[in-house]
Chain A
Amino acid sequence: MSVEAILVGVYLASCTGIGVYFARRGADSESEYWVAGRSIGVAANAMAIMASLASGGSIIGVMGLAYKSGIPFTLALFAGAILGFPLAAVLVAAPLRRFESITISDFLTFRYPGAVARWCVPLFILFSFTVYIVAQMKAAGITAQVLLGMEYKTAVTASTLVFVAYVSLGGMLAVTWTDVVQGTLMLLVVLGTAAALTYDQGAPLAVLDRATEAAPKLGEMTQTPIASLLGIFTLWAAAIPVIPHIVMRVFTAKDAEGARVSLNLAMILYSILILAAVLIIVPVGILLHPGLQDADQVFLKVMQGQFPPFVRGLGIAAVLAAVMSTTDALLLACSAAVTHDLLGPFLARKGERVRRLTTAAVPWAIGLFAMACAYHPPKLITTFYSSAIGLLSASLFVPLLAGLWWKKANRIGGSASILVGAVVYLALELGGFAIPKFSPVLFALAASAGAMALGSALGKPPAPEISLRIERLHAN
């Protein structure tokens, strides 16, 4: 057996071990399983948030995107994601943490009581995150295919079985502690690769000069309309405060201040990771491996060509870590959408045994479905899952912010805002209109805000008990 395969085997066994270790505590209560008993400290939460966001998209995908679409477009996307963190930290983290719920649907259903928040929000999450999971599985599959010589489908199947196992066993505690390990590994490998390439190839700016001379598209932005750049920036900036696998981390924090600081620390770590990948590793990839058919393979090709087996093994483990740290969090959020949001009242009537069985079975159902979809992978993973995340930005950003900060926001306004944002986004994204890619989210957010204002003006004011509880969320 090769050194790479042994390292990957050790890594996968460790993840499963963490799941088994936390299986008992996770089974104790709903709060333990879904939000780790609200007991996670700042440092661990920051690393787990960074690892959750830094997906296969942030290692494999970010480099593929920069290789194919250029550095300016890629940095517009990731600047949006990074600047979404202050939005989340300042406007969402503290009041939402004080709400003491388990999912974002809990808050929206309380703030805008009715069928739209109760049913549509978890269904949107389920749809968007299943697409997101499929993209992550492609990253796992091509990594093992290129660096281990494994068959693509076998690699997808093996990684799926491991992360579904530890999610279903250990819940959020297992996910958090595997994410801490995985985030550390990712940072070490990406920064280590960047440092080694700098030592080997020369100063980053000199390499960038050579790379942009060889491939001017890498640094240009004439190929991308400004509406696309603004769209991708806005899509991710609006997504961070609402995407459930990040929001659930707010609920795992010990207190509101801990949630804010850990979001900010996560932003610093994520920024370092992305800039090292885009500005140092990609230019080397362009120089050494020009004309790749599948741009997502650029990091893997650099690892394969430049490093010995032991480092390659760490590289594979790091990519799998990136994939799994996001996918486990996505899977947990999807499972919460089904088990807690959609089936919660039904399961409460059926007793504890049925609840536990369902909680363990749902991750398997979602994971295996996504695995079957990933057998036929999308082309460029970052653009693929960004489109799906756009649905959550378009439908949830305005209702969440208005629900937390605008006293006049009411049931009609909130419900209309969720629906109009989603419908406009899907119509523009799928309707074949001649508008720049990623710009639909701009129209959808404006429409969602308009619907919120109009609906709230026409409907009755929120019930006194709702207003009182929201008032308390803002009291220090």
Chain B
Amino acid sequence: MAGAVEGEVGRLMFYRLGGKDAAFLLVVFGLSAVGFVLPQLRARAWHGVSWFGWWMAALMVAGPLVGYLHMRTGARR
């Protein structure tokens, strides 16, 4: 019941964002946030570059690829 009321309030307040789109944004920016929050990523290095740097590089590769798959597999508004 509480969930239904919240859903109704949400619809009155905001235009609807598709579930897949919302999930895509949550994954991308959630993983970005992890990079800034975890101190271990700043403390350790691989080939002389901190894990934070590699995390950002991985996001730069994964973000576009997942984004492309998302767009091609029925992403809706």
Contact = CB atoms under 8 A, between A and B. Distances in A.
Nearest to B36: A230
Interface string A33-50: 000000000000000000
B49 A208 contact: yes
A27 interface: no
Contact of B63 (A82, A95, A261, A265): A82
Contacts of A309: none
A221 B32 contact: no
B57 A268 contact: no
Given A89-B71, A90-B25, A405 B17 contact: yes
A76 B57 CA distance: 9
A86 B45 contact: no
Interface in A211-231: 211-213, 216, 218-222, 226, 229-230
Given A71-B49, A83-B32, A406-B14, A476 B71 contact: no
A86 B60 contact: no
Consensus secondary structure, chain B interface:
helix
Contacts of A124: none
A79 B59 contact: yes
Contact of A218 (B48, B56, B75): B48
B56 A474 contact: no
Contact of B25 (A87, A208, A220): A87
Interface in A81-101: 82-83, 85-87, 89-91, 94-95
Contacts of A260: 71, 75
Interface in B38-64: 42, 45, 47-50, 52-53, 56-57, 59-61, 63-64
A406 B13 contact: yes
A205 B47 contact: yes
Contact of B32 (A94, A233, A261): A233
Interface centre among B12, B50, B65 (most CB of A within 10 A): B50
Contact of A226 (B15, B36, B56, B71): B36
A75 B76 CA distance: 30
A407 interface: yes
Nearest to B32: A83
Contacts of A76: 52, 56
Contact of B12 (A71, A83, A407): A407
Given A209-B47, A267-B64, A476 B77 contact: yes
A279 B57 contact: yes
B64 A219 contact: no
Contacts of A470: 15
A72 interface: yes
B77 A474 contact: yes
Interface residues of A, number: 52
Given A229-B36, A406-B13, A474-B16, A219 B53 contact: yes
A416 to B, nearest CB: 19
A288 interface: no
A271 B60 contact: yes
Nearest to B12: A407
A275 B60 contact: yes
Nearest to A90: B21
A271 to B, nearest CB: 5
Contact of A79 (B47, B49, B56, B71): B56
A404 interface: yes
A221 B50 contact: yes
Contacts of A279: 57
A46 to B, nearest CB: 11
A233 B47 CA distance: 23
A78 interface: yes
A70 B49 CA distance: 9
Interface of A: 70-72, 75-76, 78-79, 82-83, 85-87, 89-91, 94-95, 205, 208-209, 211-213, 216, 218-222, 226, 229-230, 233, 260-261, 264-265, 267-268, 271, 274-275, 279, 404-408, 470-471, 474, 476
Interface of B: 12-17, 21, 24-25, 28-29, 32, 36, 42, 45, 47-50, 52-53, 56-57, 59-61, 63-65, 67-68, 71-72, 75-77
Q: Sorted from nearest, which 8 A-B pairs have the closest CB atoms? A: A212-B48, A219-B49, A72-B53, A75-B56, A268-B64, A219-B48, A79-B56, A267-B64
